[in-house]
Amino acid sequence: MKPDKGAYYRERFEAQRRILKRLASTMEVNEILEKLREETRTLVPSAMEACILLLDPDAQKYTRPLQCALYGRPVNCLSCKRNRGAVRKAMDRRKGVVVSGSEPITRHDGSKVETGPEAAIPVIVNGDILAVVNVVARPGIRFTNRDFHFIKDISEIVGNALLNAKRHWETTQEKIKISQMLAHLSPFVPQSVRRIVEDYPDQLMQDKEKKEVSVLFLDLENYTRLTANRPEAEVNDIVEKVFSSFVDPIHRSGGDINETAGDGLMIIFKNDDARTNAVNAVRSALDIDQRSRELILGSAPGQHPIHVNMGINSGMALVGLTRFKGQLSTRMTYTATGQVTNIAARLADLATGGDILIGEETGKLIQGLWPVYDRGLIALKGIDEPRRVFSLKPHSAKSIAHSELKTA
């Protein structure tokens, strides 16, 4: 009996319509890619895992790599899949391929996960391979023509998503350049306030409101030593380079850069949902940590590495415009004030060696999403009672213990 081609095309059409409907509710490219991966697993029932390997050199500026589920713990899809035979063949031939058998996945503990056939389809946009959609099937299973065409459909949607995300990022970069050129016209007004003045001028007269926020503080370790041993212009160049590398991950996670003070930044996450704020703050911190470690690896020989220490805290704060009046001018900023902000700042002060410390409330809000490491009750300067502190890094127990002695 011949297959019903009409039914097959209807199935592809309905699948594409369902996918586009799912994607219509979000503009965030990482969420789009995750949903596309879920759809691939659904459309190809034999799939053990579906990965979207981001190969665009600019990808880290507008999105984050996905994590492969075939390992015992999350692993960047790109690092575990790029050198697999199907992926390399698809990139070399610049078209979709299927290999009947593929090498097993070797986990970090040495154990192996047997795999079956593997499909890989390059995502080509304007002649460049921006990504590869890679699907690994269970052993003993064969991909059907239906499976391959569904994967191809997904790859086309991935291409559109990446193209739109890249264009948005490029437009944002252009806006940043223009803003920098015009910055001398309003040196006393942060970007957050300029945005309010332009879009919501009525808020200038409104009182502050109580709101759930997450606050991220970061500062550069060894900044004092840096300023003592180098010319001021060189220090400014270093700090500008470091902080500029953080702008993309902060904006990508929905953060609002509120203050800059020498060696520090304050970022507010003030979405209407407390958990979303905490998750975005942690994502931003992890992205910043990745960027900062790349900078540390690139430090010149003989120079002290520049660690970026961070503190995150969540809770209720007074949010709104604050005016600072001086003899020569009035400066406005959009900020969050209260205990939640004070604790976030103290956690950043407490961190050493590039640690990321979080308060207890933030730890509760991200529970189950990332591992956190309990550092116990710690006395924070200016805070009445000791606070339970957690770290997003497993190796910082000694540095915390040392800092506790200094602050208790």
pLDDT range class, residue 100, cuts 50, 70, 90 = confident
∠ CA 126-132-133, nearest 5°, is: 120
| Residue at token pair 């507008």 | 62
Q: Considering just the CA atoms, what is the radius of gyration of the chain in Å?
A: 24
260-277 pLDDT, tens per residue?
Answer: 554 568 888 988 789 999
Tokens, residue 41: 């697993």
Domain boundaries, the chain: 5-172, 188-407
8 A C-beta contact, residue 78 and residue 53: yes
Give me the amino acid identity at 174.
E
pTM, full prediction? 0.49
Give me the amino acid identity at 7.
A
pLDDT range class, residue 403, cuts 50, 70, 90 = very low
Distance CA 314, CA 363 (A): 9
Mean pLDDT along residues 159-171? 81
171-191 pLDDT, tens per residue?
Answer: 776 555 544 543 433 443 445
Residues in the chain: 408
Asked: is 5-172 a CATH 3.40.50.300 domain? The reply is no
- Higher-pLDDT residue of 280, 232: 280
CATH topology of domain 188-407: Alpha-Beta Plaits (3.30.70)
Strand blocks (E) in 239-363:
256-261, 264-269, 308-325, 330-337, 356-359
Mean pLDDT along residues 370-378? 90
| DSSP, res 377 | E
